[in-house]
Amino acid sequence: MKQFIVVVSLLLLVHSGIPTNGLELVSGKTILVFNGGGISSPEINGFYANYTSAGNQVINGTDLTVDSLRTLLTSDVDSLFLPANDLSGENLTFIKEWFDLGGRILWVAGDSDFGGYFISDNLNPVLETVGSVLRLDSGAVNDPTSNDGASYRVIATQLGNGSVSDAIRTEIVGNFKMYFHAPTAVYYLNNNSVPSDLREESLDNVEVVVKSSPDAVAIDQDLSAGSGDFYSSINAVGNLPLLAVETIGSNVVIVSGDSVFKDFKNMYGNTLPHSGEFHHGSIVVDTLLSYLWQEVIPSLESNSTNSETTSNTTTTQTTIQSNITTTTQTSVQSSTATSTQTPVQETPSRSVPVSIMPIMLMVAGFVPLRKRILNASFSK
């Protein structure tokens, strides 16, 4: 036990946020998180604290309506996060117009189909709108061996093979573990229409960054048996894509099977909610965003500009693996910040000042959030 504590303490020290060389946590960005009618707890206190103290503006869009999202999603917004909510039936042209400004990061995060509360088909139209080939599966990922005490509490164990994965890999000490609390998987559409297995494919412009263990199983938990329940329909076992990135023009789309930037179940954190053991959640999120902002997007924008000046006909879409050659040691702030630094800018919604975070976190422990109850009853 003592050895374990020492190891964990060392790991935390290694990632205590003192940049050495190379990249630091991204700064100067405006990140809009739209929870809308999201199904799980909306708190992003850890992310908010880390990114505002690093000099970003984080708009915590709890309770925002789609109309207010439309108003807020101006050219000043560099990144839009859409965690597991329902945008079905909405005119999404405004998201496409924002995306087409270029140099943006769109993060579409799903959830499992537990109880039918989250339906991927209600969020996938966003991916379609911006021209992504990636889709959230309408099922769930269970892992009988790599989990935090129950098979739906999935611990991912594998990073991918591209440059984004490599950037994250440089930050990983020990065995890679990332927590996804009841996630779904990511598949892709072949020829814009046929649900297809992303596990063995090597697609231009797409990199699978985080994968499940070889033992994870795809299931159709709510028995919806739709075309979007792709991986369960092929009885997929193992290496299920849980987080993938795609470049589209000078933009990047991130698709993940859970909202890993949220406080929920400490996914954006470094301890597993049940065993208390270490996992790399916030390190992955922070390294991913910093690498994308500091290396990938500038490269895409540069290529885009060069292409425009040399040819009117050449497509500017570029592959992640072939265009990002810079290897940079990434050092980012990884633990949940406890800084009392004032948020950079007054935000228009219910963003939580860092100074009251401890109180909020205490209160959060007593709030009977629907998903917690659901999952508690589910886990028996």
**Contacting residues for 376 by C-beta, under 8 A, at least 6 apart:** none
Q: Which is nearer to Ca ion, 187 or 291 (CB)?
A: 187
Beta carbon of residue 378, minimum distance to Ca ion (angstroms, whole number): 15
137 binds Ca ion (CB under 5 A): no
What is the token pair recorded at 141?
Answer: 């990922």
Q: Which is nearer to Ca ion, 40 or 303 (CB)?
A: 40
From 138, 146, 157, 299, residue interacting with Ca ion (rule: CB under 5 A): 138
**Contacting residues for 121 by C-beta, under 8 A, at least 6 apart:** 88, 138, 226, 228
139 binds Ca ion (CB under 5 A): yes
Q: Which is nearer to Ca ion, 60 or 120 (CB)?
A: 120
Following DSSP, what letter does each residue of 242-283 receive, concatenated?
EEEEEEETTEEEEEESS-TTS-GGGSSSSB-TTT--B--HHH
Q: Which of residues 100-119 bind Ca ion (CB under 5 A)?
A: 113
CB atoms within 10 A of CB 205: 20
257 binds Ca ion (CB under 5 A): no
Phi and psi torsions of 109, nearest 5°: -120, 135
Candidates 21-29, 132-140, 161-169, 254-262: pick the segment binding Ca ion (CB under 5 A): 132-140
Beta carbon of residue 307, minimum distance to Ca ion (angstroms, whole number): 41
Q: Which of residues 187-246 bind Ca ion (CB under 5 A)?
A: 220, 222, 224, 229
Q: Which is nearer to Ca ion, 77 or 217 (CB)?
A: 217
Chain position carrying tokens 């892709």: 188
What is the token pair recorded at 110?
Answer: 């799903």
CA pair distance 367, 8, nearest whole angstrom: 29
Beta carbon of residue 252, minimum distance to Ca ion (angstroms, whole number): 28
160 binds Ca ion (CB under 5 A): no
Residues engaged in binding Ca ion (CB under 5 A): 113, 138-139, 220, 222, 224, 229
